[in-house]
Structures are given as structure tokens and as C-alpha cells.
Structure 1
């Protein structure tokens, strides 16, 4: 064929001499002549024909070699009405076409025969052509014998189809690029709730799946030959509930390597999915309940906390009343910690905690934890010994969460160590890690309890009066938070009445180049304060507490009053509740900031909503501080203080 093409007088054709042919045609001809598979090229608007030796054998003496250089329609007039739309699709830039076992009635050896062909039409790109397509590359195979053989295999197919129908999975076979149902077993038909689907395409049977992604997946498997595995994929048919399917799309490969269809195998897992969704919904409602419970309990705790602060400040000469105030404060702190633990365990379980990492001097964090629990330590007359390392040790961690870990473990040591006991906190430089031990001479832990002390809702042996308190979730939170820092926590004890030692190991980092020193603060002159809360008890008690500190305070119970006072009273600090009845605290803050020109105005959110997203929303609304009720008055000191300058 190469010799015939070179010898042909092409100057008499619309193509002109071979040396003037476009490069895409020359490249395609080299490909055509180098392969043993039947291939044909139609080039240009007249569809001038080129073909190779393998294709010449399919033409027969009626068409070879006269077909060379001939127009396609002249050569194939008897089938032109069948193939012309396919050729047009390629020439107009709509992509290639694929035709499997296409029935064509072709004249060969003087006889009109019914023949089956599998062929593809692919565009040959030519940037100089009107639509960017210069011609059509045809790759074909006659499949008449194969098709006839398949027709004789129907009896055998009936046997394996019976096996399909007995399978516990749903199964079907889709043939051709249109994905026509060749077979579907009873379980597949049950999913569709249909019977007469054979010979129809997937879109004809279930048009709803057009926009559900299934057709795209079938096309991809058919075109690439890659198997696809879908897990719990929703299928929506009609107005009923969606069905969830685990399935495999497996390409069907013929002996010659061609993909002729897709086999679908899978299981209906709807019941399992809906059960799982129901459980997730229960967890979501539980989380919402815990958040609302915390909010509702924080509101009454706020005035109790304020009253305990007022009591201790107002009756400094009365030791009995001072003791009552201290008891109120401790119990309020305990209730607040229980609420925080409940919310934390829920957030950690659902991976909703984000750590804010920074370089931390671990000794500084431990000292802050000790200071936080100073009242408890004093109340139980414990001796605290802190043994620091010779050189500063730093870790990469979240200050708030590591403080939470240390105060939780230290609080347990205080709780389970008798009055007058001793607690030793020691830092170790282990090279790659910083190890912290918190050892007490308290009641100890049995060997059995040591194996499960970090499990959720597990506590040491309880007395009938539950004098030690707790929910059994604090150490589980510690373990999870330490693990989020790539650390480890463990416990050891020689048994009951032998004390306990908790060890926390964290990855060590190098000493930072610029270590920030803790800043000191001094109290500002008395301030004008606007206290806004629809909980009258919380508002009034906080206002009285602020007045005891010498501040000038005015109280508002509604958002409207708050806006009026913000304009007439011109406060320097506004303590603002979020859950107001007439407007949200966020809206009040925005309204005040839009009108207020004082750059020194400090906005403080004082609310029962303490989720991380609540803190972020307050920041976005313009609040300078966010405190969750009930807030200890000492925690507000940074609101009423400023950093000390060098001159001070």
C-alpha cells in the first residue's frame, strides 16, 4: 500500500501533490502504514480515502485498489446513510465515536452480505482546517464470526444467568457505550422496582440518575478500563427514600482487550446507613442538649459566683462569713469545671478542637497551673514542691489546653490527697522529650484501676457520699489532649494508700531565639462601666461587685436600654450578654461600634455560650474579650488593667 500511495497521481485529486499535504495527514499515514490492524483515513471535505494492507484485505477485489484516492461516499454508497452521521459527528468537533458489532449490509464478492463490524471514528486534528479537524481515522474489525458464535451461546448463557439470579448481591451487565441492559438479576430488578429493562439504556430505565453521577462513572469505567468501587452511595429513584449501595463497576474485556461493557455487582446497604444516620442524629441532639444545658446552668451560676466574691470582699473582718464566701466560690468553680469537661469530651470525640500552637516554657505553664489551684491547695493545707530543670525547657503546644491538662492532674492529686499532704512536681530533660511528673502521697490507685484510669467515665473506688465528686472524664480529656500534642501520659502507684505519680511526656523543641517575658499589669483608675444582661440577678450582682472595686456602674436589662446608655453614659467598658431578648449581643456590639468614636472603648462578651465558634463570632463582632459565665472576678483583671511600661 505504501508503494501504491507513492505511485498514485495525487495532483489529479483535490489533495494535490503529496509534497503539499499538511503535516497531520503525513503523520497519520505513517501510523496507518506501520500497523497490521485494518485502518482507513478519510481526509478533507471530499473524504478522500487512504488505507493499509490489512484494510485492503477486507475490501475484496471489487474495491481494491480502486478505493485508493476515491471519495468515501462513492466507495461505500450502500452503507453511507448508516455511517455518514457518525462521520459528521467527528468532523464537526464533537469527538470520536465507537461502534461495537455494528450490523452493515455490504456488497462483497458480488453478494450483499450482513456483516458485523466493530469500529471507531477518531478526529485527525489539523489547525488549518475550518473546525480544526482535517480528517477521520477509522480503526475497524469485522466481528461477524464472533457475533454468530455468541448467538449460539444463548443456551449456555441461560445456565449462568440462573446462577446470577441465585446470587445474594444485585448484578447486571451493561453493554456498549450507551450502557444497555443485557442482563439484570432479581435483586437488581428489586432495587429498580421494574421488570422489562433488557435492551434499554440506563437513562431510559432510570432517567433520575442523569444528575446523580452514576452515568459519569459508567462512562469512565467503559472508556478507561479502570474498576470503580462505590461505598454507601445514595441512589434516588422516584419520590421514595434514597437507597444506599455498595457496588463495583467492573469493565468487561473481550479476548482482544477491547471493553464491550460494564458489569455491576453490589449490595443494598440502606438499612445499615439509615441506622448509622439515626445514631449520628442522636449524637447531634445530645451535643445540642449539652451545649444548651451548659448555657442554662451558667446563667444561674453567674450571680452565685458574683455573690461569693461580694461576700468575701464585704466581710473581711468576719472569718465565718469569709469561709461561707470561700465555700460558695469553690463549689461554683467545681460546677463550672464539670460543665467544661462535659462539653470538652463531646468536642474532642467529634474532632472539633483546634489547637493554637506556640513555643511554651513548660515551667511557666506549670507555675500558672499551681497559681490557678492556689485556693484548693491552701484549703487542704498541702505542701507543693516544684523542682524545675537546670535550664529552661520548651515545647510546642496550646497554652490553654496544656494548662487544662496540668490543672486537671494536679486537681486530682489535691482531691485524693488527705489534708496536710505533699505534692511534688518535677521537670526532666530527656533529650527529645520534656517529662513532667506530678507525685502525691495520697490514697493511691489499685493495679486494676491503673489499667483503666484514663478510660471515659471511670473513677477510683467511690464512697457512698461521693465526697470526692467528679464525672470520671477529666483524665480521659487529659489523655486525648496530650495525644493531640504528640505526647504520652501514664500513671503509676504501688497500690492503695501508697500515693500516685502521673507522668506527661511532650516533644521538646529548641530554645526560641526571642523569648517573650511575662508582662506585668497595673490597675487603671476607676472606670465607667455599662453592665448589660437580661438576667437581672447576674447583672445586679456583677454591678455591685464592680462598685465595690470603686467603678462607676450603670445596669441595663435590654438591648434598647444598652444602646441608650451607651450614648448618654459614654462608658469606657461594656460587659455585654449575648442572649438578650430584643437583639443579640453581637448586634448590640455592632450598633455601638458604628456610633462610638472612642478608640478606648472596651467591649467584653460575658455569656453562657462558650463554644469555640462562639468565641470566634464574638471576635468577628468586635468584642475585645470573651468570658464564659460564671466568670471569677479575678479573671476580669486584664479588662481593667494595662501592661506596665518600661518607665514604670
Structure 2
């Protein structure tokens, strides 16, 4: 036989099986009528594969001599008198003491008359040095073999020792009828535990359904259901017994060996005698698995919704990339044509709006699942508001709004994530721009109050009705829209602002005198001391022409980005597949590689690895429609220096080309 743990291909049917598997493989079968295992009949091989692959007690008798096999689960029931000597032994030699009981059943099967079934059958055996009354539930089933007499080559015995169960049933019958009636009529599961060791005195049928039909009376919980010891239940019982205080568990997970995990609501109620001493614990509870799974199903639906939004954003970003590139190219290449310039600006604004809508959708998903982490640093609130206003400058100009920004003082610092703080201000100010009629007025005030930076955004727009004021920050809530939905939006921007402000330890509130009377939003953020910043007299470095490889299977996206970069005086090559990209890296020798992730023949992560295995001086920039934190992390692990979601801004790429080795923070 091969060494333990390994089998030749012809003996794969004997692989595994724990201790008994090893013993079977090591057994010298040439000393039996079966001979070499490689030549055993296929029905025997198949049956042995089943026997060694299950945790249920199983036994096989094979051939005229009834040569014996059994698994680990079975050996625990036969005692040291027969284990391991029963392996390979003839059946009658092994079971002489009970042969009169089982021989007729064996003959019935071997004669081709079907199978036997015995439930809680008393079959006394000698075990552990003494004669024991042992109860079994078992079946003798034929193992078909066309070459054998009557077409039966042997017997498969599937059995369970039920001694403990039978004795438990006998004790249960003797229990007091009042306990049986009270407990069995209870809608939930109940049991009574006595003493500091928590020994079972009684349990109702619902309790047995949960823990399985085990012998429990008089035994400790830890002995009956040892699997709960590492689930905290024994510790809770100890606590209730020692303190005399009731414990209530809600939707608590419970795992019992041999059963599906469930959830329970339960109460541990101390039983106190006339001397105010705790003598036991009453356990009362309900299986609430259906309720919990229904809640989990709702959460799963939310998760799928979030995944759908992420996929939707990815699919939308891909076509937006060439539109962004085209708008940028149109704007820069038509300096003398105002009409074309105007078209380029329109395209750029609409792409920016669509990108913001997608980012808002994804932010709701990320915040809801606590997937957003803040990069906190001291920042000047005045500068953040200026950045928000700059991002909205085109919208403000189009609607001819007057914006009054009163910042006294102008150096108020908070600890915050600059990107997220600017996003909050942009959403609130953008809300004012959106809902204020053309030619309206927007007032922005920055002040300090009781250690907080207070930012107020007021407008003379359409205002908010009283019934909407309490709901304005809720997800997907909007004021009534006209049929043309001229104000647009998804009703999620203010919800995002509220969540982000709260993550920064602040608050946001809204006030309005009613419809047509404008509105006022107030953001309060904890103030901090101004950081000591050394003066920076370094001028920005001059723009440098770079050699750049653009890799994207979306030809429109690749070609428009290449044209745009070429217009910036860069030397650009294009590849549409992973193979073309790897060839271009060798022939074109680019400094920077703008690499799409979703390529048809090899994904971008694999391409990056191939490049880095050969070249260590390339700057890899991931351009992708996926922008989840996990995508950024995966890009970093693959060796990318930077990660951008589509559509990428030209200014961001120029920053990479000019400051890749100094100013920009890589992924």
C-alpha cells in the first residue's frame, strides 16, 4: 500500500476517512478472501468511498465471509474490544454474541429480499469490559453486484446508537405531568436548569427541536451541547446564577452541531427559593430565524442595489470619458471660434453634472455601509468655500446670480477632509443656485461661534414649505417638481451633506419662512487652531512634454484622450488591447502609461504586473469606471502609481505628468 495520506490513482476510492481510512489503506488485504484492493469489485469501491466520506456511522459486510469495514463515526460505538480488530474480520467471528439477532436480517438481504429497518432496537453487546444494553436505529441495505449470488455482493449498514435517546425518553415519561403539560403547551422553547452546574431538569419539545434529540435530563448544559461553550451561553448562565439578575437576548445567533444555524430571542430567568437563593434558571425563548432572515433579505436587497448603482456608474463613466476629452479638445482647439468654444463649455458642464450625480449615488452607498474614510488635516474654511464657488462658477454665471461672500474672519480652521468639505459646500451652495430664479441673490457668511466655524448659505429663491422642512435631509426627498423637472437632481445631495458633516463632528440645519421666501442652510463644524505653515516660495515647475501610452479598448475614449494630450505637446501612442500595450511599451518606451482596467484579452492589473516585471521606471496611471475603495486598493497592490475614475480631468493628468515624483500623493 502507498504511504499514509497518499493513494495511487487506482486506490483513490480509499482516500481520506480519518483514522479508519488510514487503517484500511495500511491493512494487508491479501490475507483475506478479498485480495488486492485494486481488483475489488466496483460496487465495493463505490460503497467504501461513501463510507469514508461521511460523518454518519456506517459499516460494510462484503462477500461470502462478510468481511468487515467501518468508518470513524462507527468505531466510537463498538468499544476497544472490537476496534480495530473488527476491520477485515469475518462477520460471525466478530459478532458471535449477537449473531442470533442479526443473522436472520443479514440473510434476508443476501437472499435478495430487500432491506431491513430497525428503530431503537435493543442489541446488547460487550463494551468497555461489560455487557451493556445498547439501543440502535439501523438499516441493512443491499450493495448490488451482478457477479454475486442473488445480485447482492454485500450489505451497507447505516446506523446510529440511540441508547441515550431511549433512556432519556424513559426518564421523560416519569417526569411530573404538570411540568410536561406546562412546557409542552408553551409556544416557544423552555427548559429548567438546576444548580450552579446548570443541569437539565426538564425541557419541552420545542427545546429539543433546537438542540436535537439528545439525552439531557440530569446532565450539564456544557456536556449536552458543548458547542455552545464558545458562543457565550455558558458564561451568561453563570452570570445569571451568580447575580440573580435576568438576562434577555435578542436575535442571538445559535449554532448546534448537525443543524442549520438559527437566531433566537431568549430570557434567562433566575429561580429563587424562599431564602432568596438562586437555585436554578428558567430558559424561555423563541426561534426568530424567519424574522432575522427577512431582515437580512432586505439588507441583501440594499446591497444588490448598491452594486447596481456602482455598475451603472461604471457603465456611464466609460462613454463620458470620450465626451469629456472631446469637450476639452474642442475648447482648447477653437480659441478663435466663440460658437465652438461655447459648445465645448456646454459639453464640459453637462459631463461635470452627470459625473456629480453618479458620485452622489455612490457616496450614499459608501456612507450607508461605512465604507468612506476621511483624510483629516487642518484646513482653512475660507479656501474650501472659494473652491466650491469656483466649481459652481459656470452655473452661477448662467443664472446671473449675485453671490455675496462675507468672511469675517477669513482664517477659520477646522480639522477635515478637504475633498469632502468642498463637496458639502458645493452641494449646499449648488442647491441655492438651482432653486433660486435667474438674477437671484445668494449670501454666504463665514463666522465663529462658541468654538465652531459657522457657515450660512441664504438665498431668495423658491423656499421650502413647512411640511418639507423636517424631511429635507432624508434620502430621495424633494419638493414637488413641475412636469419638466426643470430643477433636476435626485434628492440625495443634502442627505450626503448631512452624513459627511456628521462624520466631521458637525451639524447642519435648515430654515425657511415658506414657499417663495427663500431658504437658509447653516453648517457648524468644530474649530481648530491654525497650523504653522512655512512659506513656500517655490514657483510651479514648467510644463514638460512627456511620452505617454494610452491603453483603452474603448477606441473613442483612447483616441480622444490621445488627441487631447497631443494638443498639449505630449508625444502619445495608443493601444486598444493588452497585447498591443505590451508591444508598445517595448517599442515606444513611454514614461507614463494611462491604462484602462477592463481590457478584453487581459485585465489592467495583469498588464501592470507584466510591465513592472520588465521595467521599474514606468509611471502607471489606472483609468477605470470603478472607483470603490477596494478598486483603489487593488490598483495599489498591482503596482499602479495613480488611480483615476473616468472621466478624468486634463488638469489631474497634467499634475501627474508634472509632479508625479514630488507633489501628488499616489494610490
TM-score, structure 1 as length reference: 0.68
Residue 318 (structure 2) pairs with residue 299 (structure 1)? yes
Secondary structure, counterpart of 2:201 in structure 1: strand
Which residue of the partner structure matches residue 636 of structure 1?
653
Superposition CA RMSD, Å: 3.3
Q: Structure 1 stretch 167-176 or stretch 511-520: which is displaced more?
A: 511-520
Give the conservation status (yes or no) of the 8 Å contact 2:465–2:514. Answer: yes
Give the conservation status (yes or no) of the 8 Å contact 1:341–1:473. Answer: yes
Residue 529 (structure 2) pairs with residue 529 (structure 1)? no
Which residue of the partner structure matches residue 465 of structure 1?
484
Q: Structure 1 stretch 607-616 or stretch 160-169: which is displaced more?
A: 160-169
Please give the residue correspondences for 1:325-364 in structure 2 after superposition, counting only pairs within 5 Å.
325-364=344-383
CA drift of 1:399 comes to 0.7
Aligned to 1:587, which of 606, 611, 614? Answer: 606
Give the conservation status (yes or no) of the 8 Å contact 2:179–2:202. Answer: no
Q: Between Structure 1 and Structure 2, how many residues are aligned?
A: 490
Secondary structure, counterpart of 1:172 in structure 2: strand
In structure 2, the CA distance between the partners of 1:326 and 1:168, relative to structure 1 (3 Å rule), is same
Secondary structure, counterpart of 1:502 in structure 2: strand
Aligned to 1:499, which of 495, 513, 518? Answer: 518
Using the alignment, how far apart are the partners of 2:538 and 2:244 within structure 1? 66
Secondary structure, counterpart of 1:174 in structure 2: strand
Q: List per-residue Cα deviations over 1:414-469 (Å, max 9, x = no partner).
A: 22223333323221122411111222333333333333222211223311111111
Residue 635 (structure 2) pairs with residue 618 (structure 1)? yes
Aligned to 1:171, which of 175, 184, 190? Answer: 190
Q: List per-residue Cα deviations over 1:28-85 (Å, max 9, x = no partner).
A: xxxxxxxxxxxxxxxxxxxxxxxxxxxxxxxxxxxxxxxxxxxxxxxxxxxxxxxxxx
Using the alignment, how far apart are the partners of 2:522 and 2:427 within structure 1? 13
Which residue of the partner structure matches residue 563 of structure 1?
582
Using the alignment, how far apart are the partners of 2:634 and 2:283 within structure 1? 48
Which residue of the partner structure matches residue 284 of structure 1?
303
Q: List per-residue Cα deviations over 1:451-504 (Å, max 9, x = no partner).
A: 322221122331111111100110111111111112121223333333332221
Using the alignment, how far apart are the partners of 2:615 and 2:263 within structure 1? 56
Using the alignment, how far apart are the partners of 1:617 and 1:515 within structure 2? 36
Secondary structure, counterpart of 1:377 in structure 2: helix
Q: Whose Rg is larger?
A: 1
Using the alignment, how far apart are the partners of 2:276 and 2:601 within structure 1? 72
Please give the residue correspondences for 1:110-121 in structure 2 after superposition, counting only pairs within 5 Å.
none
Structure 1 gap segments, 5+ residues each = 1-153
Which residue of the partner structure matches residue 27 of structure 1?
none
Using the alignment, how far apart are the partners of 2:225 and 2:453 within structure 1? 63
Using the alignment, how far apart are the partners of 1:499 and 1:228 within structure 2? 53
In structure 2, the CA distance between the partners of 1:203 and 1:455, relative to structure 1 (3 Å rule), is closer
Structure 2 gap segments, 5+ residues each = 1-172, 663-667
Which residue of the partner structure matches residue 540 of structure 1?
559
Which residue of the partner structure matches residue 15 of structure 2?
none
Aligned to 1:244, which of 234, 240, 263? Answer: 263
Q: Structure 1 stretch 521-530 or stretch 398-407: which is displaced more?
A: 521-530
CA drift of 1:523 comes to 4.2
Using the alignment, how far apart are the partners of 1:272 and 1:594 within structure 2? 53
Secondary structure, counterpart of 1:457 in structure 2: coil
Residue 518 (structure 2) pairs with residue 490 (structure 1)? no
In structure 2, the CA distance between the partners of 1:428 and 1:515, relative to structure 1 (3 Å rule), is farther
Give the conservation status (yes or no) of the 8 Å contact 1:520–1:643. Answer: no
Which residue of the partner structure matches residue 426 of structure 2?
407
Which residue of the partner structure matches residue 89 of structure 1?
none
CA drift of 1:338 comes to 1.0
In structure 2, the CA distance between the partners of 1:390 and 1:515, relative to structure 1 (3 Å rule), is farther
